[in-house]
Amino acid sequence: MGKAFIVSSYRGSPQPERLAEYAGPARKAFEANGGRFIVRSLPVHTYEDGLSERTIIIEFASVEKAMAAYESPAYQAARKLLGPVSRDVRVVEQAD
């Protein structure tokens, strides 16, 4: 099995104060589970039906590690700090 990635694309802008509260604990939770942040920014440009909102990509050694990080109690506690915001969050495998 190859590497896996959590890809999170926001569909709306989170409240800045909630994002600030969420960012530190979320990062610690993912890094504690072997995650390495590859992308954490707004798009430089969007095509087709893309939204100009935050995109996060976190690399893990495997699908299992990515899923364990997302489902971890530490991340779930951090997630609650973000409050109601619409996101598309996926776990994907590295191409061969």
Instruction: Give the residue ranges of the chain where pLDDT is below 50.
Output: none
Would the pTM of this model clear 0.95, i.e. be above it?
Answer: no
Cα separation, 94 vs 96, whole angstroms? 6
**pLDDT averaged over every residue in the chain:** 93
Which residue do the tokens 């989170």 mark? Answer: 14
Count the Cβ atoms, other than its own, within 10 Å of residue 48. 4
Residue 1: its pLDDT value, please? Answer: 67
Domains of the chain: 4-93 (3.30.70.100)
Tell me the C-alpha to C-alpha distance, in Å, between residue 8 and each of 29, 49, 86, 87: 15, 16, 10, 7
Strands in 87-93's sheet, in edge-to-edge order, are: 36-41, 55-60, 4-10, 87-93
